[in-house]
Copies of this chain bind each other. A is one copy, B any other.
Amino acid sequence: MKSSLLEKTIARKDIYNGKVVKLHVDDIMLPDGTASKREVVDHCKGVCVLAVDSEDKIYLVEQYRYPVSSQILELPAGKVEEGEDMFECAVRELSEETGVSGSDYELLGSFYVSPGFTDEEIYMYFCRVDDKKDSHPDEGEFIYTQRYSAEEIFEMIEKGDIKDGKTIMAMYIASSRKLI
Interface residues of A (CB under 8 A from B): 2, 4-7, 15-16, 18-21, 23, 25-26, 28, 30-32, 37-41, 43, 46, 62-68, 71-72, 74, 79, 109-122, 142-144, 157-158, 160, 163-166, 168-169, 172-173, 176
Whether the pair B21, A16 counts as a contact (CB closer than 8 A) is no
A16 touches B20 (CB 8 A): no
Number of identical monomers bound together in the oligomeric complex = 2
Q: CA separation between A41 and B65, bound complex, in Å?
A: 13
- Interchain residue pairs A-B with the least CB separation, the first 6: A172-B172, A65-B115, A5-B64, A111-B165, A113-B114, A113-B113
* Residues from chain B with Cβ under 8 Å of A72 in the complex: 112, 115
